[in-house]
Structure 1
Amino acid sequence: MLAHAETNMRCGNYIIGAGNTRDEIVSRCGEPADKRTSTLPSTYRNRHGEIVVDSSKPAQEISEWVYNFGSDKLMMQLRFVDGQLQDVKTLGYGY
């Protein structure tokens, strides 16, 4: 399934974009067809260019949601970091 980067998603009369919260999106778009959540440690690059875990900062919660609007419309994938929408991608046609 190919993905194409977008900046917004339309739900009825609402435009959903970066910065919206999960609660705002559910209230405007309903529940997604699929949800996946993982936790990643906070990291930084040291002066040698190595990626190092920063134990002084809390881990980030990463969530990916997929909205399936039916077989005649494109599915949309939403990526959240710590509850805020970061990006929207267009997937293939729904089912």
Structure 2
Amino acid sequence: MRPALSTLCLLLAAAPLHADSTLRCGNLLVQPGDSASHVIGRCGAPQTRATSVEPVFATNRHGRTHQVGSIEVQRWTYDRGPNQFNARLRFEDGTLQRIDFDY
């Protein structure tokens, strides 16, 4: 195999797949970085919603970890109907961070 092609194959194999980086709501899409109000405007209210406050930790230059604050985390679930996987969305401080599907 030619070196350039070999390098490209290695890079593609190492690259993470982002197949779940968007959620289709009708003919509209939502994606990480969108606000909670934007998602509700496009997808409607979720079937379930849970909120928690989670600590944020940092490690200093001496290797010690300490709490530096907290964030509000919301987990929303959308039941997308028969023959479709449920969508689970994670928001941190009101911004969509992650979209997962129940496979």
Percent of matched pairs sharing the same residue: 33
Higher share in strand: 1
Higher share in helix: 2
C-alpha separation in 1, matches of 2:22 and 2:77: 14
Name the structure 2 match of 1:49.
63
C-alpha separation in 2, matches of 1:74 and 1:41: 30
C-alpha separation in 2, matches of 1:38 and 1:49: 28
Matched, 1:73 2:62: no
Q: Structure 2 matches for 1:1-95, cutoff 5 A?
A: 6-54=20-68, 57=69, 59-92=70-103
Larger radius of gyration: 2
Runs of 4+ in 1 over 4 A off after TM superposition: none
CA-atom RMSD in angstroms: 1.8
Residue identity matched to 1:80: F
Q: Deviations over 1:30-89 (max 9, x none)?
A: 1111111111123211224332111xx4x2101111100112111111111100001101
C-alpha separation in 1, matches of 2:50 and 2:62: 33
Which structure has more relative contact order (CA 8 Å, sep 6+)? It is 1
Aligned length: 86
Q: For structure 1, list consecutive stretches of 5 or more residues without a partner in the other structure.
A: none
Q: For structure 2, list consecutive stretches of 5 or more residues without a partner in the other structure.
A: 1-18
C-alpha separation in 1, matches of 2:86 and 2:62: 41
TM-score when normalising by structure 2: 0.75
